[in-house]
Amino acid sequence: MPRPPATACRSWLIALLALLPAVSARAELPAALARQLAELGVPSDAVGLVVAPVAPGPRFLAHQAERPLQPGSTMKLVTTLVGLEQLGPAWRGHTRLLAGGPVIGGVLHGDLILQGQGDMDLDAAALRALLQRARHRGLAEVRGALVLDRSAFQPTRTDLGVPPFDEAPEFAYNLIPDALLVNQNLLRVDLFVDERGLQVQPLTRLAGVRVTHEMQLVDGDCSTWDEGWQPPRVKPPGPGRQMDVVLRGTWPVRCERTLALNVIGRNDYVGRLLRQLWAELGGRWRGPVREGVAPADAAVLAERSSRPLSELVRAINKPSDNAFTRTLYLAIGRAAPGDATEPTLQRAERAVRSWLRSRGIADEGLVLDNGSGLSRSERLTPAQLEAVIRAGLASRWAPEFVASLPIAGVDGTLRRRLTDSAAAGQARLKTGTLKNVVSLAGTMSDAAGQPLVVVAIFNHDHVKPRALRPLADALVDWIAQQRFARGSVDTAGKDPDPGFPVGIAPPWGDRPGGP
């Protein structure tokens, strides 16, 4: 699971100021990178690399450019660009609150229906605003069920019966979305230690839910708080009793964190959140919660829309949000031509492949799963990713696409990386991390100011990202210091071959699902 960023290590970046010895243009791998990979026991065929000018011309560096590799979250570049191209930057997800019966004297004689259509911004505040509008229209009591309409995507729940991606299904990066994902189904809690011991304060208020703990305090670094973490235990409520969520494991004594946990069943979560908010607004409702489809004659009580896609792509690529990306991928499928009963994921894959072919990008070797890169099966080649980036730079929506990418040393998943590098403030690169993947892809400039397309993908099952990530960063810094426009790598006036630093712990840890 991804950790909060650790303190940036500055000392290792000093070594990056020394460049590698000269190599000819279009060499396969820089010599020092190849040597450090060998020292780590990583074969050269575990790396795919492309460095090429944005302007027409041959690549400067290419290594295994045509080999399908596991891309990690750099796959999000495909989904966000196709989303902009197919849906447009003004696309929004929607939510509607509907009355499934007549409202007489402030009483709804029928079901209250919450209908989702891929609204990524449907948090607790947004749901409260919907309910408040219903109250303003005079609704005070619901004498029916809460019906959750997720039918915009088919099947309505792709998370059911699916084994977890890894050993930490309770964390937000593992969340599998649906068309009606309310507050991302997350229970947010503050953990801190004071004179009374470990304190657990819920930030998400759910009717009938209590959060307690059985955690032991230990000495340790707050950056490794998750090493003693155990999955929470949820005690189902008995008659007239609360649901207890019990946090377990160990906790560093000098540590304060806010955690977001996906531990409550989806229907139960929405029902408890809505019941809590409705009661706070003075409304009455004691009915059950069930899934269903809104009838055609249901009356609209309130509706809302998400931010436009032009903003959502930033919320996807900057922090590398898996749930948002997967929702966008499904929205692409829903908008694609085809039978509405066909699985939305299949329609999404067909739409992505069709878009690629329309841009002259071959899709051989491409494997699509959920569009986020949080997958063991997704594959693409560095050449395909290079072509997608080029298409993004040439798109009429290029400003929106490029602005969504993390900036080295400035923001997103790169805010604590490459801070003292020649790439700082100018390289815009999507990151990717799984337990066997480190990747970077996007655009940057060399020392002569020449715009480049850069793709670097490292795949290895037995070397952790904490060893590979410094190599990826060192490679980016090295690229930023070259003058590829001269036709060869520029190392004038630099110390010969200091090699790349290795063994630096990455700021996001080394478990699956990181950025």
- Cα–Cα dist 466/241, whole Å: 45
pLDDT of residue 416: 96
What residues have CB less than 8 Å from 413, skipping those under 6 apart? 318, 319, 320, 406, 431, 508, 515
Task: Note if the bond before 30 is cis, omega within 30 degrees.
Answer: no
Burial (CB < 10 A; 0-12, 13-18, 19+), residue 27, is middle
Q: What is the mean pLDDT of the chain?
A: 89
Task: Say which CATH architecture domain 94-305 belongs to.
Answer: 3-Layer(bba) Sandwich (3.50)
Contact criterion met (CB below 8 Å) for 171 and 322: no
Supply 465's token pair.
């990202």
pLDDT of residue 8: 35
Of residues 431, 417, 442, the one with CA closest to residue 514: 431
Q: pLDDT band at 506, cuts 50/70/90? A: very low
Domain boundaries, the chain: 11-90+310-486, 94-305
- Cα–Cα dist 32/253, whole Å: 42
For residue 493, pLDDT over 70 is answered with no
Query: What secondary structure letter does DSSP report for 297?
Result: T
- Cα–Cα dist 389/411, whole Å: 20
Q: 11-90+310-486: which CATH topology?
A: Beta-lactamase (3.40.710)
For residue 82, pLDDT over 60 is answered with yes
Burial (CB < 10 A; 0-12, 13-18, 19+), residue 24, is exposed
Beta strands in 91-186 (DSSP E): 94-99, 103-104, 107-108, 112-117, 141-142, 146-149
pLDDT tens digits, 380-407: 999 999 999 999 999 999 999 999 999 9
Of residues 386, 407, 438, 507, the one with CA closest to residue 51: 386
Supply 4's token pair.
């909060």
- Cα–Cα dist 266/251, whole Å: 28
For residue 104, pLDDT over 50 is answered with yes
pLDDT tens digits, 32-64: 888 888 888 889 999 999 999 999 999 999 999
Residue type at 80 in one-letter notation: T
Do 11-90+310-486 and 94-305 share a fold? Answer: no
Of the chain, the end-to-end C-alpha distance in Å amounts to: 10
Higher local confidence (pLDDT), 19 or 445: 445
- Cα–Cα dist 384/78, whole Å: 10
pLDDT of residue 9: 35
pLDDT of residue 295: 97
Task: Name 259's bridge partners.
Answer: 189
99: phi then psi, degrees, rounded to nearest 5: -105, 120
Residue type at 399 in one-letter notation: P
- Cα–Cα dist 423/408, whole Å: 6
As separate numbers, helices (DSSP H) first and strands (DSSP E) second, the chain gives 11, 21
For residue 496, pLDDT over 50 is answered with no
pLDDT of residue 182: 98
Of residues 212, 206, 317, the one with CA closest to residue 270: 206
- Cα–Cα dist 28/20, whole Å: 14
Count of C-beta atoms within a 10 Å radius of residue 426: 17
Q: Cα dist. 258→168, 207, 226, 316 in Å?
A: 16, 21, 12, 21
Query: Quick one: average pLDDT of 281-293?
Result: 97
pLDDT tens digits, 289-310: 999 999 999 999 999 999 999 9
pLDDT tens digits, 328-384: 999 999 999 989 899 999 999 999 999 999 999 999 999 999 999 999 999 999 999
For residue 4, pLDDT over 60 is answered with no
pTM above 0.85, yes or no: yes
Count of C-beta atoms within a 10 Å radius of residue 474: 27
Question: What is the C-alpha radius of gyration for the chain, rounded to an integer number of angstroms?
Answer: 25
pLDDT tens digits, 118-144: 999 999 999 999 999 999 999 999 999
